[in-house]
Structure 1
Amino acid sequence: MSTYGDQARRALLDSAEELFATHGVDGVSNRRIAEHAGNANHSAVNYHFGSREELVRAMVTRYAEDTRRRRAELVGLLGPEPGLRDYLSCLVVPFTDQLASMPVPGWRARFLRQLRTVPSMVDIAARNVVEDPYLDALIERARACVADIPDVVITGRSWLLGKLVVDACADYEARLERERVEPDWTGFALFLVDAIAGMLEAPVTSTGDFLGSRTVSAWP
């Protein structure tokens, strides 16, 4: 049974996610987060999380266990000879399933998109990514499927894909709220997998390191 403190923390996390998604991370004060959560204590964020950085850390990691569990299930369902799209599905579907489990309107994808616009928040998120034992292996297997593509090109495309997944999910999330259409996150995940596979497998006409050497996860 959850305690009052647990309920208050969840309310603050939900409030921050919605406000950050709609107004930007820097456009929302801790006091406004508390008020939107219905908490009369304007210092509730610091009381329950210790600091704004800890609040963001909790927001980034709050669904990590569910995502990791779903990815493990999908890996267990892989056939004897999986291909690129199979590996990509194991990477994408846990995130879209997470979004599908949320009520409409949902704010998760739009929050993550806003988070990426603030360098200090990107650093916080990067430092607090929860380890997923399957993630690195899946990325390496997917890369092996396009081994003929130069590493510098794959690295650049992976950076683009990281933006593509989050931005596309954020736009779809917003459309579900705006147009009140029936959600189809399963179909949307397949659409994303097709697009990602197409980009990874696309012919190479330039091998320049245009985006700079970086280690970037392609997956939210």
Structure 2
Amino acid sequence: MGQHGDKAREALLDAAEELFARFGIDAVSNRRIAEHAGTANHSAVAYHFGGREELIRALVTRHTADTSRRRAELAAGLNPNPALPELLACLILPWVEHLGSLPVPSWRARFVYQLRAVPSMQEVLAGSVLANPLTEDLIGRLEAATGELAPTTRYGRSWILGNMVLGVSAEYEARIQDGAEKANWTGVGYFLIDASAGMLSAPVTHPGDFLTQPSAVYLP
């Protein structure tokens, strides 16, 4: 694909990320994305990506090379028996540091949060995690570090962890755009690490089956 095609593809990705973040995945048509990208070709999404799901996959993996490199750096510095916050830092810090590197306004956190809310799109998001052996290994080590928890308790807390990290990131991103917050993504990252470690290590006062199926920590 030539330089013109690459620019058109990037414009479509930018437009889709913003519209999905603002209005939700199912509320935005391919035609609207093309128009927001400034093209008169209403079939541009199909032409450049092959279809809607391929466009969303491209959005999910758009910045994963940067976060993967940072995650590998942090994981390489772990000692043989890392504490829970150290494992969580490897998962959370690359995500929030990447958000901090984006221009304002950014839409990344709100897009991923919207994506996680759509059941049909969760497989796409999960695939981006499982395609990365390092992330999968870190999640496995996190599960081992919380081995005293019953599986159903771990599933439930992992579900809360994912929603918390993405939800806080999405709201913070919006507050920065509105001028309500001065960006301090590193501070937010360590706040989320502490909160996540506290939740995962909290005592169980009443056993139950809140969730009976695994719920992964999705952080692209």
TM-score with structure 1 setting the length: 0.92
Unaligned runs of 5+ residues in structure 1 are none
> What is the deviation of 1:108?
0.7
Give the Cα separation in 2 of the matches to 1:52 and 1:98.
25
2:157 matches 1:157: yes
Report the equivalent of 1:123. 123
For structure 2, the residue ranges without an aligned partner over 5 or more in a row are none
Which residue does 1:217 correspond to in 2? 216
Equivalent residues, number: 219
CA distance in 2, matches of 1:124, 1:32: 22
CA drift of 1:186 comes to 0.5
Match of 2:73 in 1: 73
Question: Is 1:186–2:193 an aligned residue pair?
Answer: no
Mapped contact 2:152–2:213 kept (Cα < 8 A)? no
Mapped partners of 1:26, 1:81: distance in 2: 44
User: What SS does the corresponding residue of 1:39 show, helix, strand or coil?
Assistant: coil
Deviation at 1:159, TM superposition (A): 1.1
Find the residue that maps to 1:134 and give its secondary structure: helix
Find the counterpart in structure 2 of residue 12 from structure 1.
12
| TM-score, scaled to structure 2 | 0.92
Partner of 1:169: 169
- After TM superposition, the structure 1 stretch with the greater mean CA deviation from structure 2, 185-194 or 172-181, is 172-181
Q: Counterpart in 2 of 1:148?
A: 148
Q: Map 1:109-120 onto structure 2 (within 5 A).
A: 109-120=109-120
| Whole-angstrom CA distance in 2 between matches of 1:169 and 1:151 | 27
Which residue matches 2:39? 39
